[in-house]
Amino acid sequence: MLTKYVRRARDRAPEVTTMELFFDLVYVFAITQLAALLAHHLTWEGALQTLVLFGAVWWVWNYTTWATNWIDPDRLPVRVLLVILMGLGLIMSSAIPEAFDERGMQFAVAVAAMQILRPLFMAISLRGDPIGRNYVNLGVWSTVAGAVWITGAFVDDAKLRLLIWAVALGIDVAGPMVDLWVPGLGSTPMESWTLSSGHLVERNRLIFIIALGETVLSVGREFSEVPATTIAYVSFVVGFALTVSFWWLYFARHADIAEERLADSSNPAAVARGAYAYSHAILVGGVIVAAVGTELMIAHPHEHAITGTAVAIAGGPAIFLVGLALFVYSTGGIDRFEGLVVAINLAVLVAIAVIADVADLQLWIVSLLVLVPMYAMVGLAALHAAQNPEPDDEGTHKTPTYT
C-alpha cells in the first residue's frame, strides 16, 4: 500500500509547505498571461475567452490545493507529482495568449493531462482510504471534461471552440455540485471529504495575494514607463489605492472570521466548497479584471472611456464585491446590513461604468470615481464591525479587527 508514503500525518493539522509555494509560482505567470490576454482583447468575445481560460486555470489550481490537504508535498512521490503538474502548468500558461488560435491543442492537452493525472495518482496511492475512493469519482468527471477540452482544440472556428470549452469548464464546475455522482459508483457526499480547514484557507489566501500582486505589478510597471507628470502620479495613487481597498475588505475582518466559522462547521468540506472553490474564483477573477483596468488607466489616463475600458475599470471591483459577498454568505456571516451595502455599491459601480461610457469620461476620472464606493465599503465595514463584534468561544466579544 502506497498510502503511508504519501499521506499527511493525521495527528496534526497540515501546514503549507515550501513545495506548495513553489508550485504557486506557475500561477503568477498564468495570472499575468490572463491579464495580458484580456488587455489586448477588450471585447465581449475576448472577455468570454478570458473567462473560460481563467476557469480552466482556476480548477487546475483548486483541485491541486484540495489534494494537498491529504497528501504530503514533503514526501518524494508527491513532490514528483507536483513538479510534473508545474511543468504542465507552464505549458498551459504559455499557450494562453494563442489558446483560441494555433496553441489550442497545447492548452487543452496540458489541462486534460493535469486534471486526469492528479485524481489517478490520488486513487492509486490512497487505495483503501475513503479519500482514494472519492478520487475515483473525481477522476471520471475530470476524464470526461478533459476529453471535451481536447475535442474543442480540434475545432478551428474560435467561437465554436469557445462554446465547446465552456461545456468542458461547466463539467468541472458542476461535478462537486452533484457530489461527483457517477453511474454505478454513486456519489461522494461532502461530509466524506475529511477536510483540515486551516490548510485550505491559507492556500486560498495565498492565491488571492498572488492576484493582488498582479495589480501591484500593473501599477508599478505602467508607472515606470510613463513620463513623471502630475497626472501620472495621480493615476499611480488611484491605482494603488484600489489595490489597498481589495486587501482591506478581504483581510481586515472576513478572512479570519471565515476560517473560524469553517473550523466550527459540522460539514467543513461543504462550506469550503462554496466559500473557497467557487467564491474565491470570483474574487480572484475580479482582481485580475481590475488589474487590467488599472494598467490601461495609468498607461492612458487622458484617454476617453469606451465600453471595454469602462467595464474593466468598474467591472473588476464589482466582480470582486460579488465574490466577497458570496464568500461571506457561504460561511454564514453576511447579515442584512452587509447585503444592502454590497447591493448599493454594486449599483453605483454599474452606474459609473454606464456614465463613463456614455459621457466619454477620461480613464483616470473613472478610476477615481470607482474609489468612492470601494472606500465607502471599507468605512461602513469598519463601522459595522465596531458595532457588531464577533463573539468568542466564551461568549464575550472580540475586539474588532478593523482599526
Quickly list DSSP for 158-172: HHHHHHHHHHHHHHH
Question: Which pLDDT belongs to residue 152?
Answer: 97
DSSP H helix total and E strand total for the chain: 15, 0
Residue 403 has pLDDT above 60, yes or no: no
State the average pLDDT for the chain: 91
Angle between helices 197-225 and 18-40 (to 10 degrees): 50
The confidence score (pLDDT) of residue 402 equals 35
Q: Which of 295, 151, 320 is nearest to 214 (CA)?
A: 295
pLDDT, residue 397, reads: 45
What is the share, in percent, of the chain residues with pLDDT greater than 70?
Answer: 94
In 192-335, where do the E strands start and end? none
Calculate mean pLDDT across residues 101-113: 97
Q: What is the pLDDT of residue 392?
A: 55
Q: How many CB atoms lie within 10 A of CB 397?
A: 11
Burial track 23-43 (b if 16+ CB lie within 10 A, e otherwise): bbebbbebbbbbbebbbebbe
pLDDT over 90 for what percent of the chain?
76
pLDDT of residue 400: 39
Q: What is the mean pLDDT of residues 273-292?
A: 95
What pLDDT is attached to residue 29? 95
Mean pLDDT, rounded, for 135-151: 96
Q: pLDDT at residue 4 above 70?
A: no
* pTM beyond 0.75, yes or no: yes
Question: pLDDT digits over 237-271, tens only?
Answer: 999 999 999 999 998 877 778 888 888 888 888 88
Say if CB 268 and CB 45 are below 8 A apart.
no
Average pLDDT over residues 49-65: 97
pLDDT confidence of residue 8: 80
pLDDT value at residue 346: 96
